[in-house]
Structure 1
């Protein structure tokens, strides 16, 4: 894979979707957002240009960064040493950092029978099901994509579709420094509280959470 020069591949495996298609799951070391974004664009462009079905799910964590989606017009960002990057995903501004799990679904939607709304719903449901296995009651909101626990956001979504291929995706707060969220209006919502799994569950296996999230998502598509 050409993107190995920018992203350090730790492992890969094949899983079968609920519809019987194979998807490669790639796990990477912690990466700079800009490197991951460039790699996603390279992967999607190659899939489109060669008209190939090369469905993959990427799992990784990012170095500290604020990212602004295409819907982000004006955003008050308090002084910070954390870099800010404008990107081509949907949505507003959010924060990524170590301890936050990123899941990027790089999928050709039509062969999987997926529309954008179904893809979003499947990502949200995968988080809800994963948290339920840890006795955490989570829910989605009609007015704001993502997953919430007691009104606080634990998972954010932002996608882009290019000629039927999806990229960008989901971030799930596992165990990270949440203070950078106080510098922004998370996902464009003033006063929105943010939470993480480590504040809700005293003990958990982070590797199992990663594996369960992927398995739950793949079973829904």
Structure 2
């Protein structure tokens, strides 16, 4: 017969880490920020985090920069003197471009705590991008062996001229079970710098943005839509894999991330919105 629950014999309490894992993800609007600043901050944040550190998503827009991943080859930069800086970084994948008019979402997640395999992480990110595009009546598909999102065949209108073009790129780093780097979605950009590289190592791969596909949407609107889909998809995964292990009281307990997630984006931008700074095998990336 089970023992009665009393102050002297309390019910088991889930760890703080378990509750944090199912809490809302902290969303930080960092605004326009030099790539090196974001890169250093992600590595420092990841190095400093503990099992009780809330997960975060950072939304950023970068000045023009080429980034070369761990699998990158210098020859994939086709123009030696483009005037755009090249930064060697530690994510998976090869070379890509970041610039104004592109939404970059950095995913600072504790995968072990969330019981997320790397393949699941990539799938959830890609699905979030596909759902974001669908919100603007655009179709997007995955491509086997080439992470990211592409314009599919059989699409009508403006998109039909850009079948196979890449609209979103994905690159991650996993360190000590935690992710950083993330996904970039092209909203309304000067696409010419992509002509100076073999995007993600693929010669002749067309890169396109949502504006070219006929969508007039602001950077902030698309960023908010993408963030909402990422939060919903990661939240759904957490509820499926973690909620059954928590009691009703534990799942409803206050958490440190909830208040932080509600911080006014303008106030975050004014203060820099920066948590402790930081760094992680790598999944495929492109």
Q: What's the TM-score once normalised by structure 1's chain length?
A: 0.87
Residue 193 of structure 2 is aligned with which of 166, 170, 180? Answer: 180
- The change in CA–CA distance for 1:51 and 1:111 in structure 2 (over 3 A counts) is closer
The 3-state SS of whatever aligns with 1:135 is coil
State the Cα distance separating 1:205 from its structure 2 match: 4.3
Q: Distance in 1 between matches of 2:185 and 2:76?
A: 24
State the Cα distance separating 1:21 from its structure 2 match: 2.2
Corresponding residue for residue 94 of structure 1:
96
Measured on the aligned residues, the alpha-carbon RMSD in Å equals: 1.4
Q: Distance in 2 between matches of 1:204 and 1:38?
A: 30
Report how many residues are paired.
201
- The change in CA–CA distance for 1:76 and 1:187 in structure 2 (over 3 A counts) is closer
Corresponding residue for residue 40 of structure 1:
42
1:60-119: CA deviations, max 9, x gaps? Answer: 111110000001134242131001010000000000111111000000012222111111
State the Cα distance separating 1:54 from its structure 2 match: 2.4
Corresponding residue for residue 66 of structure 1:
66
Q: Is the Cα contact below 8 Å between 1:134 and 1:201 reproduced in 2?
A: no
Q: Distance in 1 between matches of 2:76 and 2:95?
A: 10
State the Cα distance separating 1:176 from its structure 2 match: 0.9
The 3-state SS of whatever aligns with 2:83 is coil
Matches within 5 A, 1:1-221: 20-47=22-49, 50-77=50-77, 78=79, 79-149=81-151, 150-221=163-234
Greater helix content: 2
Corresponding residue for residue 12 of structure 1:
none
Q: Distance in 2 between matches of 1:45 and 1:143?
A: 30
Q: Is the Cα contact below 8 Å between 2:76 and 2:201 reproduced in 1?
A: no
1:167-205: CA deviations, max 9, x gaps? Answer: 001011011110000011000000000000111134334
Which structure has more relative contact order (CA 8 Å, sep 6+)? It is 2
Q: Is the Cα contact below 8 Å between 1:126 and 1:216 reproduced in 2?
A: yes
State the Cα distance separating 1:51 from its structure 2 match: 3.9
Q: Is the Cα contact below 8 Å between 2:76 and 2:95 reproduced in 1?
A: no
- Structure 1: runs of 5 or more not aligned: 1-18
Q: Distance in 1 between matches of 2:177 and 2:22?
A: 19
Query: Considering only CA atoms, is the larger Rg found in Structure 1 or Structure 2?
Result: 2
Q: What's the TM-score once normalised by structure 2's chain length?
A: 0.68
Q: Distance in 2 between matches of 1:138 and 1:120?
A: 15
- The change in CA–CA distance for 1:178 and 1:205 in structure 2 (over 3 A counts) is closer
